[in-house]
Structure 1
Amino acid sequence: MADLKYYDVILRPVITEKSMNAMAEKKYTFFVHPDATKAQIKEAVEKMFEGTKVASVNTMNNDGKVKRRGMTFGRTAKTKKAIVKLTDESKDIEIFQGL
């Protein structure tokens, strides 16, 4: 496994209607590094966003889709998503404000 620093774990937030509705329950969705563990994701969120406390982390691995260009077959990159639930007394993550 690669030696990941906390700033390498979170790649970008997921901006969809479903993830925006989940923010009312203090659940935030991120694309994360495929080799990141739940403990690393928890540490990265707490260090990157001041005043946040993570209650739980749920992850899902998505395989790359098969794509075809002419007679050649290939795959897109595999991805990993993490849904981070914050505690009730935790501050909100400001990156999602105003979206």
Structure 2
Amino acid sequence: MTKKIPQKTLIDIIKYPILTDKTTRMIEENQYCFAVEVKANKLEIKKAIEQLFDVKIQKINTINIKSKKKRVGKYIGYKSKYKKAIVKLYDPYHIELFLDN
């Protein structure tokens, strides 16, 4: 009963990979971080990543990041909230986030 998700919604679920010092260290352990749609659940995220990158996911964790207050001079604004997904892949699989020249 695996239902194929249309290609357009796959791209809508996965927004962008999160690349920081900590996440680049996690890549060595075969874990990747992505910003995903706030309303997406773990099963939708798993199907989207497996179909987009052609990998098999071992484990997935999600975190809701709240909006934060930011100040520029006298003006106060907010960074938007988002959901972060931490994905652990099985051993033979990996995702190419950086292009080799």
TM over 0.5: yes
TM tier, smaller: 0.7 to 0.9
Residue 85 of structure 2: aligned partner: 82
Extract unaligned runs of 5+ from structure 2: 1-7
Identity of aligned residues (%): 39
User: Unaligned stretches of 5+ in structure 1?
Assistant: none
**TM-score (normalised: structure 1):** 0.80
Aligned residues: 92
Q: Which position in structure 2 is the counterpart of 1:7?
A: 11
Aligned pair partner of 2:95 in 90, 93, 96: 93
Normalized against structure 2, the TM-score is what? 0.79
Tell me the amino acid that sits aligned with residue 89 of structure 2.
L
Cα drift, residue 66 of structure 1: 2.5
- Cα 1:12–1:58 change in 2 (3 A) is same
Distance, in Å, in 2 between the alignment partners of 1:66 and 1:18 is 23
Query: Which deviations, in whole Å up to 9, do the C-alpha atoms of 1:27-70 show, x marking residues without a partner?
Result: 000111111111111001101002x1001110100111134675
* Residue correspondence of structure 1 range 37-52 to structure 2 within 5 A: 37-50=41-54, 52=55
Q: Summarize deviations over 1:9-41 as a string: whole Å, max 9, x none.
A: 110011101000011111000111111111111
- Displacement of 1:97: 5.1
Give the aligned CA root-mean-square deviation in angstroms. Answer: 2.0
